[in-house]
Amino acid sequence: MRTRILTIAAGLFLLAAPLWAASDPANDDQKTLYALGLALSQSIGTFSLTEAELDMVKSGMTDGVLKRSPKVDLQTFGPKIQQLQQARLALVAEGEKKAGSAFAAKAATEKGAVKTESGIVITPIKPGTGATPKATDTVKVHYHGTLT
């Protein structure tokens, strides 16, 4: 039901979009509809659509909202939506993995950096002094963590 409401709302937004495409939203109704478009974009953002692909999505939404005859059979192509999403997510994940590897490789070349067997790069901020605990030792840790 939620998907249907979002789809209908997105279609209404897309139908009205050409009226405001050249300017910023001027009144509360336009701003609300623009915000709806932003919210819907988060739902379909995982597809990493190109502008041409987004135009095709707009076309499908327009036909659906206006109850026009569909250009494809939803029973046939509906299941392919998840396959498309998974394929696009895999591409994004591969890109992120490469970027992460490049970042780790660069970090490993910094002064004082040590790369562990598991691939973690550790760069001490201030080297400790004194005895180093062994794996069998019991230690007391004074730790204060924050999320910034």
Full pLDDT tens readout for the chain, 148 residues: 555 555 555 555 555 555 545 578 899 999 998 998 899 889 898 899 999 999 999 999 899 989 999 999 999 999 999 999 999 999 999 999 999 999 999 999 999 999 999 989 999 888 888 888 899 999 888 888 888 7
Interhelix angle 2-20/51-65, nearest 10 degrees: 110
Q: Contact at 8 Å (CB) between 40 and 9?
A: yes
Q: How far apart (Å, rounded) are the C-alpha atoms in residues 71 and 60?
A: 8
CB neighbours (10 Å) of residue 89?
13
Q: Which two tokens stand for residue 63?
A: 């036909």
Q: How far is residue 114's CA from residue 86's CA, in Å, rounded to a whole number?
A: 36
Give CA angle at 103 (94, 127), nearest 5°: 140
Q: What is the pLDDT of residue 6?
A: 52
What is the model's pLDDT at position 20? Answer: 47
CA dihedral 21, 23, 24, 29 (to 10 degrees): -70
Alpha helices in the chain (DSSP H): 2-20, 28-44, 51-65, 74-77, 80-108
